Amino acid sequence: MHIFITGGTRGIGQGIVKEFLKKGHQVSFTGTSENSIKKGQEGLNGEYLALVCDVRYKDMITTAMKFAVDKFGDIDVWLNNAGVDQERLTVSELQEDEIKRVVEINITGTMLGTSVALEQMKKQGQGMVYNFEGLGSNNMAIPKTSIYGTSKRAITYFSKAARKEIRDYPNIYVGTIQPGMVFTDLLLHNLGDEGMKVARVIGNDVEYVTTRIVTGILNKKMRINIMSNALLMWRFMTSPFSKRNKHIK
């Protein structure tokens, strides 16, 4: 299969790139700069195409998509993974540029990516689009995450609506991925003391998460939820005996 991933140079995105390549698939992925692309290619093996793309601009996404199709053909799976966290400040403390940055990348970028992907998949007659949920998708509200949480809650509604818009295309799907709390550099950098306590209980390795995401995609699951309510409860119940601190320094 041909997989297209936005934001594939680090964190979960890079983990998904590696996992699909490991399984022998062709992968196209994007990064925001030549430097990020260069770092993202380190240690990769298999058939892949790395492309510079800022997901805030539809023409850049379209151009990247065309390069990918020219190289590997039809896109079977498209993942709108590119996203950013917010600074840990209250909304009254955040600067205008910071608010716009999170909204434009997380919401606008996902919407534009979905638009480009579905247009291509309608021509192909098949394909799967996955959008990434996150904190806020389940209506949980946490101080100093107001912009980020709102952006992820918006993705939940948007994905449901987009899914209904393609009901006349039985071989095209729009799904969602809820990765849960993942030990990435971005997460660890932004965690406060309270966040650290929670992360020690419910946080997961990138490898753990990406393996399950890829398995879910290959099984054509519409919703991939790494941290189910049952697993979450089990983690909290067994947390006194858990040794999940190895990634938190």
Helix axes 109-124, 146-165, angle to 10 degrees: 20
Domains along the chain?
2-183+206-227 (3.40.50.720)
Distance CA 225, CA 182 (A): 13
- Residue among 69, 56, 44, 181 nearest 119 (CA): 69
Q: Is the Cβ–Cβ distance between 25 and 3 less than 8 Å?
A: yes
d(CA 200, CA 98): 28
Q: Which residues pair with 131 in a beta bridge?
A: 80, 176
Task: Find tokens 């983990």 and name the residue.
Answer: 15
Q: Which residues in the chain show pLDDT less than 70?
A: 182-204, 227-249
**Tokens, residue 177:** 């991925």
Q: Is 136 helix (H, G, I), strand (E, B) or coil?
A: coil
Residues 6+ apart with CB under 8 A from 149: 134, 135, 136, 140, 141, 142
Per residue in 164-214, pLDDT tens? 999 999 999 999 999 987 655 554 445 455 544 444 445 568 899 999 999
Within a 10 A sphere around the Cβ of 149, how many other Cβ atoms?
20
The Cα 177–Cα 182 span in angstroms is: 13
Query: Residue 67's pLDDT is what?
Result: 98
Q: What percent of the chain has pLDDT over 90?
A: 73
The CA distance from 191 to 211, in Å, is 24
pLDDT for 237 equals 46
Where do we find the tokens 């998949």?
121
Task: Report CA torsion sign: 104, 108, 113, 119.
Answer: negative
pLDDT score, position 190 = 52
- Secondary structure of residue 151 in the 3-state scheme: helix
Q: 25-54 burial, b if ≥16 CB within 10 A, otherwise e? A: bbbbbbbbeeebbeebbeebeeebbbbbbb
pLDDT at 182: 61
What pLDDT is recorded for position 203?
A: 56
Residue 79: what pLDDT?
98
pTM comes to: 0.85
Length of the chain: 249
**Predicted local distance difference test score (pLDDT) of residue 139:** 79
